[in-house]
Amino acid sequence: MAWSQDEERMLAQIERHLVDEDPRLVARLESFNERVRRSEESERRRAAKADGEQPPNRRPRRSTVIIVISWLLIATLVATLLVLVLRHEAAALAF
């Protein structure tokens, strides 16, 4: 059922007053709405997977990218240190 223009105007006015009066409550409600949206999205993906459909592609989260890059840097550092140690031991054995 569509709302009338008066109802929409009144709701917009209430929203403006709420933002002015209690911005912390507004932030909490927005956070809640975001969590609900994510939950619904994951449920849709699960349902699509159960039906045999391909779930839509999504980008990895920023934290996942940071973790992967960190592990790659650590692996590179360990490999570099191993190469340096092995070269040093090989040079010591050559003398």
Predicted confidence (pLDDT) at residue 95 exceeds the cutoff of 70: no
Predicted confidence (pLDDT) at residue 18 exceeds the cutoff of 70: yes
Residue-wise pLDDT tens digits, 21-75: 888 888 888 899 899 999 998 888 888 777 776 656 677 888 999 999 999 999 9
Of the candidates 38, 3, 34, 35, the residue with the CA atom closest to the CA atom of residue 14: 3
Its pTM stands at 0.39
